[in-house]
Structure 1
Amino acid sequence: MDDVLSTASGVLGAAGPARALLGRLAELRNAVTALVEHRSAGDPTADDPLRGLYLSEDAVGRLLRTWPRAVPESVWEADAAPDASAEWPPDADDRLARTAARLRLTELDTAVLLIALAPDLDRTFEPLYGYLNDDVSRRRATVGLALDLCGLPAHLPEARARFHLSAPLRALGLLTVEEPERPLLTRSLSVPDRFTAHLLGDDIPDAALLGLLHPMPEPLPGAEHDAAFVRRLAARLGDGPFTVYLREHRAGDALAALASALHEAGVDALRFQGPPHHVPELLREARLTGRAAVVDGLPEHPGPMVAELSAATDVTVLLTDSRPYDPQWSAHDPLVLQAPRRPAGGTASWRTALGPAADGFDLAATVAPYHLGGEHIVRAARAATALAAFDGTALTAAHVQLAARQQSASGLERHARRIRPAVDWHDLVLPDGPLAQLRELALRARHRDRVLGDWRLSAGGGRGRGVLGLFAGESGTGKTLSAEVIAADLGVDLYVVQLSSIVDKYVGETEKNLERIFTEADRTDAVLLFDEADAVFGKRSEVKDAHDRYANLESAYLLQRLESFDGTALLTTNLRANIDDAFTRRLDQVVDFPFPDAGQRLALWRHGLSHVPRAEDVDVESLAEDFELAGGSIRSAVVTAAYLAAGRDEPVAAGDLREGARREYRKAGRLVPDETSW
C-alpha cells in the first residue's frame, strides 16, 4: 500500500498550482495510510472482501471491545498537526495556502478542505475512504473521518463547530455538508467543482454564472467633478473590502464611474447581471479570484439580494441602480453615494472611442445632445464605425447620431409612438418669429447642461434641467412637424405620447402611467411630444364633486413632475386658452403657429410639389390665392392629386390639385370657392 500511496506527487508534467496541490495530497495520503493501518490492526474483517456490506459477529465483538474508539494522537507528521486556531501561512505557488491566507482560514479548515476534495483529485482515495467509513458505498469523506484524520476527538465542541452552517468553510461556499438527516459524524463532505478547479489553476468562472458575467467598460475621460469623485472612490477601494451603493440618474453613469475608479485603483472586478439565487456563486468567485463584485442593476424587489451582498464583509461589493437606497433592504448599510451625472456631449470620451475617424466632422456639435455612459459610448462608436464601413464611406456625423440613438433606446414604446425623424428645417414654412423660437428650443436642449450645470444657473429646489415648450395653433399649422424637426436637429427620436394608454378611470392610475413616462424620458435621449395636451394639462376647476377633486390632483401632480423633469418635452394644443396658467409659467417657450397667409401657402404648395411630376400648365399661385388651407391640408390635397394622376399614369394636372383642395374644404365643412352650386 505504501508503494501505491507514495505516488502522491509524482504526476509528471504537473506545474504551478497543480504541483503544489498534489504535494499536499501526498501528505494526506500518508495520513490516510496511517489511519488505515491503525484501524486494520486487530480487525478480524480487514481482509474480508464483503467488509462494509454487513456486520459479522467478529466485527460486532471488536466494536464492543474497542468502544469508545481510541484516536491516534496524530496521523500527520509530528510537527504538522492541524491547529484549529492557527492560520495557514501563504505560499506563492500554493493556491490552497494563498486562498486560506486571504480568507483567514485556520490550518484545521485547510486540512478539512484537502480531505474533502481528495476523491475529486485521485480516485484511489474512494476505496480507502469507504474502508475507513465502514461502508464501501460511502466513498467520500465524512465529518467523523475528517476529525479522525486530523487527530481530533468527535466530542470536542471547537472541532464540531468548524462544520456549522455559519462556520467559515460553509459560509464562504467552500465546503458542503450533505445529508442533513444523518448524524453529524456520518454526513458526507464535498467541495464545489469550481473551488477544486481554481486550486488546480483553472480560472474559468463557475458554470452557474455562464451568461451572467460581463466585461467592465473601458474607462473614458470625464468631467473634472467626475475625476474628483473617481479619485476618492479609488482611494477607498485601496483600503480593503467594503460595500457601496451607487445611485445613478441615467443608465451607464454609475458603471462609467466605477470602471474609472477600479482602473485607477488597480482592482479587477466581476460585473454581474443576474437573478439573486446566483449571488453565492458570485461571492465565491470573487473570493477565489480576489476581485470586486459589481452588480449592475437590481431586481424589482432588491431587499434579499442587497442583504446577502452587504453581509459579505470580506468582498468588495459595488451595487448600482437608479432607485434611492432603502434602509429596509439590509441591516448592514452600504456606503450610499450618488453617481456623478455625465453631462451631454462628453466630447473627450467620444473622441477617445472613435479615434482619428472623428476628425472629419464637428464632433462636439454632433454628440452634444447625448447623455450616454462610458460603455454605451464605446458601443455606439463601434456601431458607427460599422455603419460607415457598410456604407463604404468615411465616418460621418449621421453615422454617429444613428448609432447613439440605437444605444439610447428606451421603454417609452409602451406608452408612446416612436418616430424616426426624416425632416429638417427646410421642411418648415413659418414666419421668422416662430421659426426663431423653435431654433432656440433646440439650442436650449443642446446646451442645457452647460448653462444650468456648469454655469450654475439652475433655479435649485430640486428642479430639473428639462426643456419644455408649448406649440399652439390651429390644426395643420405645423406643430407636430416642428417637434419632429427639433428632434431631427438634435439627432434623437420623437416619442408621441398616446393619451389612451395613460388616462385611466381608476384613481391614481393616470399619475402612475405619467410617472413611468417621465421617468423613462428622463433616462432617454429623446423628445417627448404630448399631442392635444389640453386633455392632460387642462385648467384646474372649482371643486364641486369628487371628479373635480381628482382631476385637480392629476394637474397638481403634473405641475410638480414638470419641475423635476430632465428631458425635452413639447406640448401641442389647438386651444391655448385651455392650458392651465401654472403650466404656462413653467414653459421655456410658447410658440404660436399662425394660419398661413397667401405667401406662406404658396411656399407650402411648392414644397409639397417639389418631388411630384406635374403638368406645365399648373398655376400654383392661383391655388394659394383661391384656397385658404393650412399646411397639413395642403399636403393632403397634394397627396389626393398625386393618386388621381397616378391612376391615369400621367403627371399631376391643375384639375387634380384643385380637386384635392376642394375635398379638403368639404372635409372641413366649408364652402368651396369655385363651385357655383351644391
Structure 2
Amino acid sequence: MSTARSTAPRGSGGAAPAPRPADDLLSLLDRLHTRVADLVTRRSRQDPTASDPMRGLFLTQDAVAHTIAARATGPAGDGHTSQPLAAKLFGEDSDDTLRALARRLGLGLLDTRILLIALAPELERGFEPLYGYLNDDVSRRRATIGLVLDLCGLPVTDPAARSRFRPREPLSALGLLRVEEGERPFLSRSLRVPDRVVAHLLGDDACDDVLADRLRALPGPAPLDPRDTLRGRLAARLASGPLTAYVRETRPGDGTPWVSAALADAGLRALLYRPDVTAPPPGPPDAADPSPTTTGAHPDDRYEPWRELLREARLRGCAVVVHPLPKAPGPLMRALSADDVPVLFVDSRPYDPSWCDDDPLVLDAPRPAVGGARAWRAALGDTALAPDLDLEETLASYRLGSVQATRAARAALRLAALDGGVLDASHVRLAARQQAASGLEQHARRIRPAVGWDDLVLPAEPLARLHELAARARLRDRVLGEWRLNAGGGRGRGVLGLFAGESGTGKTHSAEVVAAELGLDLYVVQLSSVVDKYVGETEKNLERIFAEADVTDSVLLFDEADAVFGKRSEVKDAHDKHANMESAYLLQRLEAFDGIVLLTTNLRANIDDAFTRRLDLVIDFPFPDAEQRLALWRHSLRHVPCADGIDAAPCAAQFELAGGAIRSAVVTAAYAAAGRGAAVTEADLLEGARREYRKAGRLVMT
C-alpha cells in the first residue's frame, strides 16, 4: 500500500509568515505520519491482501489464513515499543499548543499521545486512508482504541493502557475525547476529538455553539470600597488555587460586579453563565453518555451544557460565574463543582446545604455603596457636568449596584445629548429611575411626580417634618450603616412615615412631593388587589408588594392605611384571629423593610399602637384655617385666567374647605368660565364653593 505524502511547503514565497498554533501541530503530525506509515509498511509486508482494492470490504481465504497466522505469533508480533514513539513525537524542543494544554490540565504523556493520534484525521485528510487500512475497514477512518494502542506500542491486554479510555479518566472526564460506538467490541470503538477542542488547539477561542446563548460578558469590576476587606481575602484565595464558592447578593445584580472585582484582583478571567431558570431541572450529566455535538441542538430542551461549560473554562484557563441560579439549583451546583476550575455561584437566596453534597465556600457580598457614585464617575469620565450638580447628593436616594449605576450613567449621557446640553440632575434622576423597572404596577398605581415644595401650602410644623422625612431617606445608609445606629435584630434600613389628617388636607399630595424631592416614583397600593377573603392570601399579596419594593427605588404609599394597619382586637372568633395574624405579619415585615413606606389615614386612632412605635415620623395635617385657606385658593388660581380685581378672600372666610375641596371648587369655576368663553369671576368661585359644601352635606347660606 502506498504511503507517499506530499512534502510541498505549506506557505508561499516571500517573507516568513508569523508562526501559528497550527504550525506546531502540523509538525507533530509529520512525526506521527512517519510512525503510521511505518506501521502500515510492517503490516503490508506480511499481509497477502495489502494490494487488494477490495480489502476491508470482505474476507478472502488468504486474509483468513493471514489472520490465523498472525494470531499464532502473539499480539506483540510487530515488536513495537513506546519509547521510540515518544522520542519521535515529543522532543525536548517541542512547545506546541497540545503540550501547553496537556501541562495546564495535568495530562500524562500517554494521554497526550492518545489525544494526538485521535486528533490527526481532524487536521489532515491524509490520515484517513491510513487509519482505514490499519482498522481493516476502509469506511472506518478515525482512530480506534486498538489502533491507538498499536501506534503507542502497547499490548492490547495492558489494563493500565485500557483504563485511559474510561469515562472518569482525564481524557473523557475533561471533555477532550469521546469514545463512541459503545456497542462495538472495546478495541474497535472509535475515538473523536470534539470540534471545540480542535478549534482551541488551532488558536480559535470562539465558544461552543451550545453555550453561545447562555454566556454573557462579565460586568466590569465594582469600584473598590475601602471598607470592603472581604473582597481582598476572596481574591487571595482565588489566586492560591481553584475553589467553589456561593456568593449571596443583597439585591439582584449586585453580586456579579463584586465577584468580577475579586477575580480581577486575583488575575483571573471568567465566563458568566446564565442557565435556563424556567426549565425543570434535569438529572446530573452522565460522563458515560456523550454530550451533543457542537453542530446541533440537544434533543432535550431541558439540557444544560454543563460539561461543555467546564471544558470551555479549562481550555481558556479561566473561572466560571453562574448567575442567577434556577429554582432548583442542586443538580447544577453538583454538576459544576470541580476541583480544577474556580466556580462561583451568585444568587440572592440564602444557601441551602441540601443543594450540594460538599458545601462550597459561602459568602455574603457586601451591600454596595448607595447610589453607586464611584461607578457613575467611572462611566462619565471627563463629561462636563452642570455647575450646580452635586452627584453624591443627587444619587443619595438610589440603591443602585455597580452594573445598574454604569448603565444609568450611560443613559443619562444620552439624555443630556438629546437635550443638547450638559448633564444635570434631571438627567441623572430620570436615568436612575429607568433602572428601577418594577413589577409593582401589578399591585399599585404608579405616579411619576410632577410637583415640588412650591406646590404645598402647609403650616410650618408639618412642612418641616416633611423635609426631615426626605433627609432621613437620603441619609439612612450613613446613619444606620456607617454610624452603626441600626437597632439590629434583622431590622432593615427603611423609612416609615404616617400622614394623619382629615380628607383633603394634602396627605397624598405631600407624599408625591417627597417622592419628587428624592427623585423616585410613587406607587399607591391598591387595596382592592391586596385584601382577599381567603385566609392567608392577603399576607401573600402584601409579601409580593414588599419583596418587589425591597429591590426597587421607589416610595410605597398605603392610602387609607387603617384598612390593613388597623388595631388588633380581642379574639372572639376565627375572623378576629386571622385579622390579628395580618397585623402581626405587617409588623414583622415593616421592621425588615429597606425601602420607603408612607401611610395615610383619616383616623389616626384606628392605627395599631405597635405600628406607631415602629414609625420614624408621624405628621399631622391640620385642617386649614382662614389664612391657609386663602393661600390655597390663590395657589389653585395661579394658572387660571381670572377677571380683574377678583378676590378669593370672601370664599376663604365663608367656606371652611380643605385643600382638596378648594381645588375642586376652582375646577368647577374654571369649567363654568370656559363654557362662557370668559375669565373666572368671584361669582364662579362662590358657586364652586357652594357645590363643595352641598357635596359634603353641609348647609349653604344663600
* TM-score under structure 2 length normalisation: 0.89
2:347 to 314, 321, 345: 321
2:38 is the counterpart of 1:34: yes
Judging changes above 3 Å, is the alpha-carbon distance between structure 1 residues 474 and 54 closer, same or farther for their aligned structure 2 residues?
A: farther
Amino acid at match of 1:26: D
User: Is the Cα contact below 8 Å between 2:254 and 2:368 reproduced in 1?
Assistant: yes
State the Cα distance separating 1:637 from its structure 2 match: 3.2
2:522 is the counterpart of 1:483: no
Which residue in the other structure is 1:284 paired with? 311
Which residue in the other structure is 2:619 paired with? 591
Which residue in the other structure is 2:362 paired with? 336
State the Cα distance separating 1:178 from its structure 2 match: 2.5
State the Cα distance separating 1:211 from its structure 2 match: 4.0
Judging changes above 3 Å, is the alpha-carbon distance between structure 1 residues 432 and 95 closer, same or farther for their aligned structure 2 residues?
A: same
User: Is the Cα contact below 8 Å between 2:85 and 2:152 reproduced in 1?
Assistant: no
State the Cα distance separating 1:106 from its structure 2 match: 1.4
2:413 is the counterpart of 1:385: yes
Q: Give the stretch that moved more between structures: 276-285 or 582-591.
A: 276-285
User: Is the Cα contact below 8 Å between 1:225 and 1:340 reproduced in 2?
Assistant: no
Local SS of the residue matching 1:238:
helix
Deviations 1:490-518 (A, max 9, x none): 11222222233333344333323322322
Deviations 1:583-615 (A, max 9, x none): 110000111122222222222222222222233
Amino acid at match of 1:273: R
1:58 to 52, 55, 62: 62
Judging changes above 3 Å, is the alpha-carbon distance between structure 1 residues 28 and 92 closer, same or farther for their aligned structure 2 residues?
A: closer
User: Is the Cα contact below 8 Å between 2:3 and 2:37 reproduced in 1?
Assistant: no
For structure 1, which runs of at least 5 residues remain unmatched after alignment? none
User: Is the Cα contact below 8 Å between 1:35 and 1:75 reproduced in 2?
Assistant: no
State the Cα distance separating 1:316 from its structure 2 match: 0.9
Amino acid at match of 1:301: A
Judging changes above 3 Å, is the alpha-carbon distance between structure 1 residues 554 and 18 closer, same or farther for their aligned structure 2 residues?
A: same
State the Cα distance separating 1:388 from its structure 2 match: 0.6
Separation (CA, whole Å) in 2 of partners of 1:73 and 1:474 = 105
Which residue in the other structure is 2:323 paired with? 296
User: Is the Cα contact below 8 Å between 1:235 and 1:265 reproduced in 2?
Assistant: yes
1:402-413 correspondence to structure 2 within 5 Å? 402-413=430-441
Amino acid at match of 1:306: M
Separation (CA, whole Å) in 2 of partners of 1:439 and 1:385 = 30
1:208 to 199, 207, 210: 210
1:437 to 465, 470, 475: 465
2:426 to 389, 392, 398: 398
Judging changes above 3 Å, is the alpha-carbon distance between structure 1 residues 82 and 327 closer, same or farther for their aligned structure 2 residues?
A: farther
User: Is the Cα contact below 8 Å between 2:371 and 2:405 reproduced in 1?
Assistant: no
State the Cα distance separating 1:544 from its structure 2 match: 2.1
Amino acid at match of 1:329: W
State the Cα distance separating 1:670 from its structure 2 match: 3.5
State the Cα distance separating 1:90 from its structure 2 match: 10
Local SS of the residue matching 1:395:
coil
User: Is the Cα contact below 8 Å between 1:255 and 1:373 reproduced in 2?
Assistant: no
Amino acid at match of 1:219: P
Which residue in the other structure is 2:86 paired with? 80
2:52 is the counterpart of 1:25: no
Which residue in the other structure is 2:561 paired with? 533
2:109 is the counterpart of 1:107: yes
1:48 to 33, 47, 52: 52
Local SS of the residue matching 1:336:
strand
Amino acid at match of 1:342: P
Judging changes above 3 Å, is the alpha-carbon distance between structure 1 residues 638 and 56 closer, same or farther for their aligned structure 2 residues?
A: farther
State the Cα distance separating 1:400 from its structure 2 match: 1.1
Separation (CA, whole Å) in 2 of partners of 1:636 and 1:523 = 37
2:181 is the counterpart of 1:176: no
State the Cα distance separating 1:647 from its structure 2 match: 4.3
State the Cα distance separating 1:8 from its structure 2 match: 9.7
Amino acid at match of 1:78: P
Q: Give the stretch that moved more between structures: 643-652 or 174-183.
A: 643-652
Local SS of the residue matching 1:182:
coil
Separation (CA, whole Å) in 1 of partners of 2:102 and 2:241 = 17
Deviations 1:396-455 (A, max 9, x none): 011111111112223323332222211111111111111111111111110011111111
Separation (CA, whole Å) in 2 of partners of 1:91 and 1:543 = 88
Deviations 1:54-78 (A, max 9, x none): 3334333433443377353447761
User: Is the Cα contact below 8 Å between 2:257 and 2:403 reproduced in 1?
Assistant: yes
Pairwise CA RMSD: 2.7
Separation (CA, whole Å) in 2 of partners of 1:122 and 1:187 = 21
Which residue in the other structure is 2:283 paired with? none
Deviations 1:228-259 (A, max 9, x none): 22221221121011111111112343223223
2:97 is the counterpart of 1:95: yes
1:501-512 correspondence to structure 2 within 5 Å? 501-512=529-540
State the Cα distance separating 1:489 from its structure 2 match: 0.9
Q: Give the stretch that moved more between structures: 194-203 or 50-59.
A: 50-59
Deviations 1:468-492 (A, max 9, x none): 1111222222222211111111112
Local SS of the residue matching 1:80:
helix
Which residue in the other structure is 1:141 paired with? 143
Amino acid at match of 2:402: G
Q: Give the stretch that moved more between structures: 26-35 or 551-560.
A: 26-35
Separation (CA, whole Å) in 2 of partners of 1:8 and 1:456 = 77
State the Cα distance separating 1:648 from its structure 2 match: 4.4
Q: Give the stretch that moved more between structures: 174-183 or 641-650.
A: 641-650
State the Cα distance separating 1:528 from its structure 2 match: 1.4
Which residue in the other structure is 2:193 paired with? 191
1:633-672 correspondence to structure 2 within 5 Å? 633-672=661-700
Deviations 1:253-300 (A, max 9, x none): 322322322222222222222338133222222111111112232122
User: Is the Cα contact below 8 Å between 2:325 and 2:346 reproduced in 1?
Assistant: yes
Separation (CA, whole Å) in 2 of partners of 1:411 and 1:143 = 58
State the Cα distance separating 1:389 from its structure 2 match: 0.8
Q: Give the stretch that moved more between structures: 17-26 or 403-412.
A: 403-412
2:596 is the counterpart of 1:568: yes
User: Is the Cα contact below 8 Å between 2:648 and 2:685 reproduced in 1?
Assistant: no
Q: Give the stretch that moved more between structures: 515-524 or 97-106.
A: 515-524
Local SS of the residue matching 2:571:
coil
Deviations 1:622-658 (A, max 9, x none): 2323333322233333334444444444444444444
Deviations 1:165-224 (A, max 9, x none): 222122212222223333333333222222111111112222323243333333353432
Separation (CA, whole Å) in 2 of partners of 1:499 and 1:89 = 79
User: Is the Cα contact below 8 Å between 1:82 and 1:108 reproduced in 2?
Assistant: no
Separation (CA, whole Å) in 2 of partners of 1:626 and 1:555 = 43
Judging changes above 3 Å, is the alpha-carbon distance between structure 1 residues 303 and 502 closer, same or farther for their aligned structure 2 residues?
A: farther
Amino acid at match of 2:432: A
Separation (CA, whole Å) in 1 of partners of 2:538 and 2:88 = 67
Which residue in the other structure is 1:237 paired with? 238
State the number of aligned residues. Answer: 668
Separation (CA, whole Å) in 1 of partners of 2:459 and 2:551 = 34
Identity %: 64
User: Is the Cα contact below 8 Å between 2:372 and 2:405 reproduced in 1?
Assistant: no
Local SS of the residue matching 2:498:
strand
Deviations 1:131-170 (A, max 9, x none): 3333333322223322332233333332232222222122
Local SS of the residue matching 1:418:
strand
Separation (CA, whole Å) in 1 of partners of 2:152 and 2:441 = 64
State the Cα distance separating 1:9 from its structure 2 match: 8.4
Separation (CA, whole Å) in 2 of partners of 1:8 and 1:159 = 36
Amino acid at match of 2:316: T
Which residue in the other structure is 2:498 paired with? 470
Which residue in the other structure is 1:260 paired with? 261
Separation (CA, whole Å) in 2 of partners of 1:133 and 1:574 = 91
State the Cα distance separating 1:460 from its structure 2 match: 1.4
For structure 2, which runs of at least 5 residues remain unmatched after alignment? 278-303
Separation (CA, whole Å) in 2 of partners of 1:531 and 1:365 = 29
Judging changes above 3 Å, is the alpha-carbon distance between structure 1 residues 574 and 185 closer, same or farther for their aligned structure 2 residues?
A: farther
User: Is the Cα contact below 8 Å between 2:559 and 2:601 reproduced in 1?
Assistant: yes
